[in-house]
Each structure stands twice: as C-alpha cells, then as structure tokens.
Amino acid sequence: NAGVTQTPKFRILKIGQSMTLQCTQDMNHNYMYWYRQDPGMGLKLIYYSVGAGITDKGEVPNGYNVSRSTTEDFPLRLELAAPSQTSVYFCASFPRQGHGGANVLTFGAGSRLTVL
Amino acid sequence: DAKTTQPNSMESNEEEPVHLPCNHSTISGTDYIHWYRQLPSQGPEYVIHGLTSNVNNRMASLAIAEDRKSSTLILHRATLRDAAVYYCILRPAGGTSYGKLTFGQGTILTVHP
C-alpha cells in the first residue's frame, strides 16, 4: 500500500497565483485532512472531510478551498497565493468510526510551498 | 474541542529514559489519548494510544493518570533517532467531534550523545 500520497513535494508560487495540492489515499479511509505547519510551529488544521461530498472548516481555512468528489482524493486549492501561505502542507487520512481506539492518522510526506 | 498542553521543549542524554508529559484537564470520558511524533523533515507518525490503562508497545510506554487529566509518554532508552517533535492529542471515540483532530505545539525533544 502506498498510504497517503501528496504532490507536488515542492512548489514556488508568485503572489496572486493559484495552485492545487493533490492528496490521494489507498486505504479506503473515510476521513481526510489538510494541515499546515509554519517553521518551528505545530500543525494547524485547515479543512477536513468526513466522506465524499462532505467537507468542513478547521482552525485556519481562510485562503483555501477543498473538494471531496471521491473517497480517495482530497485536493487543496490555494486562490490568490500570499506570502503568509508559505508553509509545509500535510495531508492525512483516518478510518471511519469503529475499531475502538486503534484508528490512527496516517500522514503524507508533505508539500513545501513558498510564495514570493 | 478538548485541548492538550505540553512543554515546548525537553532534553535528554542518549540511552537515558525520557518522560514527556501532557496535560488534558478537559478530557471527556470517551476521549482516547494519542501520541504522534514528527521526525525532522517528515510527516508525523503514530506512536501509541490509550484510554484508561497504561500501554506498552515496541516504541514507547504510555502512563495515564487515574483521573485521566494527564498522561506521560515514556521512552525507556532514548536514542539519537528519537529526536523529534512529540504531539499529544485527544481523539473522541465517536459523535460529531470524532473527525476533527487538532494538534497543539508539541514538545521538541533533543537527545544529546
């Protein structure tokens, strides 16, 4: 199993440009997440999804959009990129309810985005 | 959302035990306590979890206070490869909060040779 795959690994954007970070998982997990991590800081939840067609805001959703048309894919769209969006972005997935406490988050390797 | 509080940083010497504390005074009765760690330049990875009883696995041990308002991740013999940021989070067992998983700042563990 590949787990959680993110693309691209690195990207440089100019202010005002737009782009989409791709995330796909092959574990049939219902829940998917996008987090951002600024230098020296912890993870902040941007958006999450509890299943295809259902998304919800996290702690820092402004400047981002998401969609979930399939169980496998959860792309993150940046519109009008700003320097404040320079960060490392992590996608993660999580199984559906049940299985007691054994459900754990599986993270991708991250996408490093720089906005100049 | 129930929150956790951890020290910003801790230091240890190689091959010594490390006790990483986490306070979660607003924990609900059905919240699981999960620990993740993030090695340099990598995504976080699962370490251990528990509900009420102490837990052991090949990576670490988890000691949970009787009132569940705090827990401690124990690395029995720290190695240089254990240098990472350690996160303690609460994971609801179900309900509307089940899927919203948030992280705090974590504890930066430095291991000295």
B91 and A109 in contact by Cβ < 8 A? no
Coil/strand/helix, residue B66:
coil
Tens digit of pLDDT for each residue in A67-80?
A: 999 999 999 999 89
Min Cα–Cα distance to chain B from A95, Å: 9
Tens digit of pLDDT for each residue in A91-110?
A: 999 887 665 556 789 999 99
**Chain B residues closer than 8 Å to A95 by CB:** none
B100 and A92 in contact by Cβ < 8 A? no
All residues at 6 or more sequence positions from B34 whose CB lies less than 8 Å from its CB, including other chains: A101, A104, A105, B46, B48, B49, B88, B89, B90, B91
A104 and B34 in contact by Cβ < 8 A? yes
Interface contact B90, partner A, CB < 8 A? no
A42 and B103 in contact by Cβ < 8 A? yes
Q: Which of B74, B87, B58, B57 has the alpha carbon at shortest distance from B12?
A: B74
Residue of chain A whose Cα is closest to the Cα of B96? A50
Q: Look up residue B57 and give its two tokens.
A: 């696995």
CA B86/CA B109 separation, integer angstroms: 7
Confidence of residue B61 (pLDDT cuts 50, 70, 90): very high
Q: Which of B48, B30, B29, B47 has the alpha carbon at shortest distance from B38?
A: B47
**What average pLDDT does range B50-76 have in this prediction?**
94
- Mean pLDDT for chain A overall: 92
CA A54/CA B15 separation, integer angstroms: 47
Beta bridge partners of B15: none
For residues A86 and B41, the model is more confident at A86
| Pairing label, strands B107-112, B9-13 | parallel
**What integer pLDDT is reported at residue B1 of this predicted model?**
55
Coil/strand/helix, residue B8:
coil
Beta bridge partners of A31: A94
**What integer pLDDT is reported at residue A98 of this predicted model?**
62
CA B23/CA B42 separation, integer angstroms: 25
Min Cα–Cα distance to chain B from A15, Å: 25
Tens digit of pLDDT for each residue in A22-47?
A: 999 999 899 999 999 998 889 999 99
Q: Name the percent of chain B lying above pLDDT 90.
A: 73
Confidence of residue B2 (pLDDT cuts 50, 70, 90): low
A–B CB contacts, 8 A cutoff, strictly below: 61
For residues B1 and A109, the model is more confident at A109
Interface contact B50, partner A, CB < 8 A? yes
Tens digit of pLDDT for each residue in B91-108?
A: 887 776 677 888 988 999
| Pairing label, strands B32-38, A64-66 | unpaired
CA A25/CA A3 separation, integer angstroms: 6
CA A62/CA A86 separation, integer angstroms: 14
Tens digit of pLDDT for each residue in A8-17?
A: 999 999 999 9
A101 and B93 in contact by Cβ < 8 A? yes
* Contact (CB, 8 A) for B49 and B87: no
